[in-house]
Chain A
Amino acid sequence: MGTARLYAAVAGSGFRRYATYRVATAAGVFTNTVFGLILAYLFIALWDSKPHLGGYDQAQALTYVWVSQGLLMVVAMMGGGFEDELIERIRTGDIAIDLYRPADLQLWWLAQDMGRALFHLLGRGVVPLLFGALVFDLALPSDPLTWLAFLVAVALGVAVGFSIRFLVALSAFWLLDGAGVAQLTSIAGIFCSGMLLPLNVFPGALGEVVRVLPWASLIQAPVDVLLGTADPLGTYALQAAWAIALLAAGRLVQSVATRRVVVQGG
């Protein structure tokens, strides 16, 4: 009970930390809206040329644009979550202090990132989606259960996104400059998450591959649950499998890294 309260408090602090930057939030909403507009018109042109591309109709494609703009920050697609701070702590050696805390390193940062994601869902996600719904014809479901199913998929997506970034951050234990790894995973993330183009539009074998990679859990999976174009349970299963596998990998790497720190004496 006590630990649950601890992690809830950590999540709360993650939420509040981002909530203090009101101007930055407003500026970010503006950016998401601008990019949403550009992509929306691009998708209209695409779906005009080829109706039912990737199995979506035009309204579904537009919904994809606006929901994905809303989710970009939530799943911290392009980084900008906790990992910069964690890398900095590893580099400066402050991590040694964290390792001796009663709280678990991975759970602590996960809780913090969940708090951040919740804020970004409310602060950065809602307004672009509302704007999109006002300006374009979207295929938003009216059934509250579908929305609930969507939120579950978002939460799982955040967990997968976190576990990827956690691994990236831990690489700083071995690599002098973690920027290269961060850049690589960010590139992979942008391409394989469906941020540029829905993954079901990707052709042939490439499409088959990207749709089962962990990045598919971040944006494609929640949007498909919302649109009703994917079976929620099957989607959850894939997301959860990745989340568990990657969190376990993170835990393994963490224990190796911890031993290293202990051996080196901090």
Chain B
Amino acid sequence: MKAGGTAVRETAVRVVDVHPFERQGAYERLRDGLRAYRLITAMWIRSTMAYRASFAMTAFGNFAATALDFAAILLMFSRVDRLGGYSLPEVALLYGVSGVAFGFADLALGSMDRLGRRVRDGTLDTLLVRPVPVLAQVAADRFALRRLGRITQGLLVVGYALAVLDIHWTPLKVLLMPVMLLSGAGIFSAVFVAGAAFQFVAQDASEVQNSFTYGGNTLLQYPPTVFAKDMLRGVTFVLPLAFVNWLPALYVLGRPYPLDLPEWVAFAPPVVAALCCALAGIAWRAGLRAYRSTGS
């Protein structure tokens, strides 16, 4: 029954010469991609768990390395009371939210910056002969649970900030906390994917991606009042990193926005994240198509 159905569909497809990407629906592709992603990550997790001691050590290392950033902030606050007009707990909230959002994206897509190398050494071709989306395979490659260290560290800092800060909580603010973490992860994920797509064109340029991912994360750890107006415009309207934590967190803190933005922008992150992911998806498609037509 199933075989017959497939054959009929294939026959129909052959008659009508449609656009390449309409043959397999977006829904099917997404489903196949997520399934493949799950399969590959499960394999890496199994293999990681075979060496538990090593996993524990590298996860702690990941935790400690990210904690150093915060140690530097603590050092700064040992010498000053306010940074750009913000107190330590307020900066901690910004820091923690950005760290967690970035941590999720890094956990899910942290191997994407290896794409350029894959193009150079030709191993990308081996992914193209498998019956699952390439994006899922590249994203899941070398899936590393040790990156949970960064997420844990970020969550601890958020916990500290929320415990110390005297926030006037409303239902909207409570709701905004998880929404901001997830949307932020979505925005950073889009940056990871778009950066990888750029590597189809410039294979040695993985560092450019780093400056937007790691650099973006560093930027967002500090209050927006520290930075120049042009930089704020850039990360609000061009590469909308400001929606990861600044705008929603400033709403929670009851602080004024930069650039005189209206109040509702605090609730825009899910929409911004969806838009960024869509654009990154298009960029990825374009990059992969360019690769398949040039072969390099």
Contact = CB atoms under 8 A, between A and B. Distances in A.
Contacts of B231: 37, 41
A31 B81 contact: no
A45 B84 contact: yes
Nearest to B51: A177
Most buried by B among A42, A46, A191: A42
Interface residues of B, number: 38
Interface string A17-31: 000011110111011
Contacts of A24: 204-207
A38 interface: yes
A203 B68 contact: no
A241 interface: no
B218 A49 contact: no
Interface in B34-71: 54, 57-58, 61, 64-65, 68-69, 71
A24 B203 CA distance: 8
B222 A42 contact: yes
Interface stretch (A90-98, A113-121, A180-188): A180-188
B202 interface: yes
Nearest to A23: B204
A34 interface: yes
A260 to B, nearest CB: 23
A191 B206 CA distance: 24
B80 A49 contact: yes
Contacts of A184: 61
A22 B76 CA distance: 37
A27 B61 contact: no
B68 A180 contact: no
B61 A21 contact: no
A201 interface: yes
Nearest to B86: A45
A131 interface: no
Interface string A177-221: 101100110110011000011000111000000000000000000
Contacts of B57: 180
Interface stretch (B25-33, B166-174, B208-216, B261-269): B208-216
Nearest to B81: A49
A205 B58 CA distance: 29
Contact of A41 (B203, B212, B226): B226
Interface string A145-182: 00000000000000000000000000000000101100
B80 A191 contact: no
A50 B79 contact: yes
A49 B83 CA distance: 7
A38 B80 contact: no
Given A45-B226, A196-B72, A180 B61 contact: yes
B120 to A, nearest CB: 11
B215 A190 contact: no
Nearest to A180: B57
A30 B211 contact: yes
A197 B76 contact: yes
A35 B79 contact: no
Contacts of A197: 72, 75-76
Interface of B: 54, 57-58, 61, 64-65, 68-69, 71-72, 75-76, 78-84, 202-208, 210-212, 215, 218-219, 222, 225-228, 231
Given A37-B231, A49-B80, 10 more contacts: A23-B204, A27-B202, A41-B226, A41-B227, A50-B79, A53-B79, A180-B54, A183-B65, A186-B65, A201-B76
Interface of A: 21-24, 26-28, 30-31, 34-35, 37-38, 41-42, 44-46, 49-50, 53-54, 177, 179-180, 183-184, 186-187, 190-191, 196-197, 201-203
23 contacts: A22-B204, A24-B206, A27-B205, A30-B207, A35-B215, A37-B231, A38-B227, A42-B83, A42-B226, A45-B222, A49-B82, A50-B80, A177-B54, A179-B58, A184-B61, A187-B61, A190-B65, A190-B68, A191-B71, A196-B68, A196-B69, A201-B76, A203-B75
